[in-house]
Amino acid sequence: MKLNYLLLDVFTQEPLKGNQLAVVTKADGLLDGEMQDIAREFNLSETVFLLKPQAERNSAAVRIFTPYTELPFAGHPTVGAAVVLGLQNKVSAVRLEEKIGLITALFEKSDKRSGEARFALPRLPSRIADLNDRLGMAQALGIEVEDIGCDLYQPAVFSAGVTFHLVPVRNAEVLRRIKINPGLWSKVFSHDHSSAYVFTLTPDEPENDLAARMFGMDIGEDPGTGSAAAALIGLLAEHATLANGQADYVLRQGHEMGRPCRITVQLRKDKDVLIHGGIGGHAVIVGEGVLDLGD
């Protein structure tokens, strides 16, 4: 059995930056366990499998696996899959059947191996819980208690399909010097995958509005996490200084890892209620190959 695959760098226009992604382009016939084994073989934060869609008008069915589990939704795999299908099919709109639901991504080609995709969240973020153990969070992150909190933002648990502990910190310098304490981690960040998205405002950085780092999902640190940025939209919306209209943000992630990512974030409110959230970014194909799995 031979399977074609592409390697992409996502949330970047520059090869060898951003968040890595493997896309298996014709995965029909693979069993769930085989997809999981292939994702473990690639050992990237996520691997995408493209299959024939259930509805003919859609572009593809999409399965998303970390090395350890399947996810119902993830941001950089959605952007990467949309860029691959946009380039292959020469279309400006890509309809993806994911576990969480149907996602329509708008695609704009940059060149023959790269482009930008933007999509509306299939599920708006919701607040799951407050986070009140500030001492525990500080110890788990290797920072001071007074470093937690940024402007009006306070720690909370949100999900837009995947659950994240959102932890605002005082500034980018605090973000940079985080040092994880694994012994405390799962006790302090106890929801679902024990994943924490630590973020801050960046008023001194003209290129972006926010900076973040993501720890967890059984992969350590992740360079660029669209599903976490999607969860963050819920917290941003609570404090956005508009009751009606749209707010746009640029978020950087992965700089501390040497894999800088640029994620665009959008929210829209009507009568002070969040009615739309969006994520976007570029992706570039950096390699291709064939998996040879024998007979």
CB 7 within 8 A of CB 287: yes
Does residue 217 register a pLDDT over 70?
Answer: no
pLDDT, tens digit, 9 for 90 and up, residues 65-123: 999 999 999 999 999 999 999 999 999 999 999 999 999 999 999 999 999 999 999 99
CA distance 235 to 52: 36
The pLDDT score that the predictor gives to residue 47 is 98
Residue 267 one-letter amino acid: L
Q: Rounded to 5 degrees, what are φ and ψ at 61?
A: -90, 145
Residue 49, beta-bridge partner list? 24, 63
- Give the tokens for residue 164: 């994240």
The residue behind tokens 């970047």 is 12
Q: Is 181 helix (H, G, I), strand (E, B) or coil?
A: coil
Positions marked catalytic: 46
- Give the tokens for residue 114: 């790269």
* Confidence label for 1 from pLDDT (cuts 50, 70 and 90): confident
CA 277 distance to own-chain centroid: 13
Q: Is 88 helix (H, G, I), strand (E, B) or coil?
A: helix
> What residue ranges do the domains of the chain occupy?
2-119+282-292, 126-280
The pLDDT score that the predictor gives to residue 256 is 96
* Confidence label for 193 from pLDDT (cuts 50, 70 and 90): confident
The pLDDT score that the predictor gives to residue 70 is 95
CB 21 within 8 A of CB 222: no
Q: What is the DSSP letter of 161?
A: S
Q: What is the DSSP letter of 147?
A: G
**Residue range 2-119+282-292, CATH number:** 3.10.310.10
Residue 265 one-letter amino acid: V
CA distance 138 to 89: 48
pLDDT, tens digit, 9 for 90 and up, residues 30-68: 999 999 999 999 999 999 999 999 999 999 999 999 999
pLDDT, tens digit, 9 for 90 and up, residues 221-271: 999 999 999 999 999 999 998 889 999 999 999 999 999 999 999 999 999
N-to-C CA span, the chain: 5
The pLDDT score that the predictor gives to residue 37 is 97
Do the domains at 2-119+282-292 and 126-280 have one common CATH topology?
A: yes
Name the percent of the chain lying above pLDDT 90.
95
The pLDDT score that the predictor gives to residue 52 is 98
CATH architecture group of domain 126-280: Roll (3.10)
Q: What is the DSSP letter of 171?
A: -
Task: Report the number of secondary-structure helices (H) and strands (E) in the chain.
Answer: 6, 17
The pLDDT score that the predictor gives to residue 81 is 98
Q: Is 277 helix (H, G, I), strand (E, B) or coil?
A: strand
CB 156 within 8 A of CB 134: no
Residue 46 one-letter amino acid: E
